[in-house]
Structure 1
Amino acid sequence: MRASNHLIGFLNFSTFLLSIPILAGGIWLSNRANTSDCLKFLQWPIIIIGVSIMVVSLAGFAGACYRNTLLMYLYLWSMFLIIVALLGFIIFAYAVTDKGSGRAVLNRSYLEYHLEDYSGWLSDRVVDPGYWVSIRSCIRGSRICARMGRQIYGVPESPDLFYQRNLNPIQSGCCKPPTDCGFTYVNETVWSPGGGLVGTDGDCNIWSNEQRQLCYNCNSCKAGILASLKTSWRKASIINIVALIILVILYVFACAAFRHNRRMDNDEPSGETRMEKARPSRIHF
């Protein structure tokens, strides 16, 4: 039984270590929310799950070391609920980021993003005016567009070089007008109407060379945020899926070891019975 307790302790310690990459994924999403993705509530479920796994694993480790049945029961039931919550979050993350992707543009290396390609809960949340005000402020404060500038010998890079850049979704959607507008490139964030003609895309009339405006109110900018969130969530979900598989395996072993301990405790004779077994029998003549 002592070996079984050691196994449970080792499994709990392994679960504790497993909580670290989950928590790191939540912190990474939090950093993305503050610097680029700009939607700041998505990281909290992962952070809460990671911290919960860490705390529950410590409780299980203590229960294994001190053979505390109550702590072990608490560990097993709590870990079951955490596994269900993690599975639910993974399914939710894939469900709300299922639709939408960038569109290829002729003679351009970067993709462009259209809001009509996205739908569902996450899209509705981003488009909501109350949320978009804070998202737009976050994008402007991150200076992601201002950092796009490149100069060669003090001169902005040529249009051909710019068209070959691999812009991220926010740079493509928020920092420049859509290609369909037909604007002429001046530099990364300054464009002029080509021959006075403006495309039919509604974003063409929203675009402004004012550096605090640019395309921050464009539908393409909202689509760029959604595309960036999709990339971030999918990357975090890969870590969570791997962690979930390992967590389930460790949980199954912990349940088996705990059940073995309970069976051994039930089969173990009491102190009085052991004394009677050890007492020599009387010899009758």
Structure 2
Amino acid sequence: MRATNNLIGFLNFLTFLLSIPILGGGIWLSTRANNTDCLKFLQWPLIIIGVSIMVVSLAGFAGACYRKSFLMYLYLWAMFFIIAALVGFIIFAYAVTDKGSGQPVMNRVYLEYYLGDYSGWLKDRVASESYWSKISSCIRDSRACKRIRRNVGGFPEAPEMFYIRKLSPIQQQGKLT
């Protein structure tokens, strides 16, 4: 039993240490959040995830080290809800993106993605003007379009060369905006 408590305490101490960079990343994003919608969108989930992992890890660590059954029950229930939430998110993400896949296009190396292939919820979110302005802002802020531009001999590459290049889905969407 002592080895089990030591192992649980050690693992929770590691997860506590790993929560520090997550929380730090959220705080770092909040200092830069005035710049873009993408950073504002990501800062609070990172901060909440970092604090949640930190609190649950501390409860597990303290419960294991000091043999406090209340803290261990709290830790186990919190882990249950965290795991259930992650499984729910995975099922939701799979359900809204299940039917969407790239279609081959003649004389193009990349695949074409159609919004109509995805679930109604996702279509409505992406097609909504308020959400699309945030999505397009993220694409612009990532400079995806500038990164895919190439010069050949000091001149912009010909469209034929561009069409045969392998592009990621984000780069494909970026060329349309």
TM-score (norm. length: structure 2): 0.73
Once the two structures are superposed, the pairs formed by residues 1-285 of structure 1 within 5 Å of their partners are 4-15=1-12, 17=14, 20=18, 41=41, 48-49=48-49, 51-175=51-175, 215-216=176-177
Q: For the Cα contact (< 8 Å) 1:6–1:64, is it kept in 2?
A: no
Q: For the Cα contact (< 8 Å) 2:144–2:174, is it kept in 1?
A: no
Q: For the Cα contact (< 8 Å) 1:16–1:53, is it kept in 2?
A: no
Change beyond 3 A, Cα 1:93–1:155: same
1:166 Cα offset (Å): 0.9
Which consecutive unaligned segments of at least 5 residues does structure 2 have?
Answer: none
Q: For the Cα contact (< 8 Å) 1:39–1:135, is it kept in 2?
A: no
Question: Quick one: distance in 1 between partners of 2:97 and 2:138?
Answer: 21
1:150 Cα offset (Å): 0.9
Q: For the Cα contact (< 8 Å) 1:53–1:82, is it kept in 2?
A: no
Change beyond 3 A, Cα 1:67–1:174: closer
Q: Deviations over 1:130-169 (max 9, x none)?
A: 1112222332333221222211221222344222211122
Q: How many equivalent pairs are there?
A: 163
Which consecutive unaligned segments of at least 5 residues does structure 1 have?
Answer: 176-214, 217-285
Change beyond 3 A, Cα 1:113–1:48: same
Change beyond 3 A, Cα 1:114–1:90: closer
Considering fraction of residues, name the structure with more helix. Answer: 2
1:104 Cα offset (Å): 0.7
Change beyond 3 A, Cα 1:168–1:144: same
Question: Quick one: distance in 2 between partners of 1:46 and 1:89?
Answer: 16
CA RMSD, Structure 1 to Structure 2 (Å): 3.2
Change beyond 3 A, Cα 1:45–1:92: farther
Q: Which is further off, 107-116 or 41-50?
A: 41-50
**Which amino acid in structure 1 is aligned with residue 131 of structure 2?**
Y
Q: For the Cα contact (< 8 Å) 2:12–2:60, is it kept in 1?
A: no
Q: Deviations over 1:64-85 (max 9, x none)?
A: 2122222122212222222222
Q: Aligned residues: percent identity? A: 61
4+ runs deviating over 6 angstroms? none
Q: Deviations over 1:175-216 (max 9, x none)?
A: 1xxxxxxxxxxxxxxxxxxxxxxxxxxxxxxxxxxxxxxx43
Question: Quick one: distance in 1 between partners of 2:126 and 2:42?
Answer: 12
Q: Which is further off, 11-20 or 136-145?
A: 11-20
**Which amino acid in structure 2 is aligned with residue 151 of structure 1?**
N
Change beyond 3 A, Cα 1:128–1:145: same
Q: For the Cα contact (< 8 Å) 2:104–2:110, is it kept in 1?
A: yes
Question: Quick one: distance in 1 between partners of 2:117 and 2:39?
Answer: 19
Structure number with larger C-alpha Rg: 1
Q: For the Cα contact (< 8 Å) 1:16–1:54, is it kept in 2?
A: no
Question: Quick one: distance in 2 between partners of 1:53 and 1:81?
Answer: 12
Q: Greater RCO between the two (CA within 8 Å, min separation 6)?
A: 1
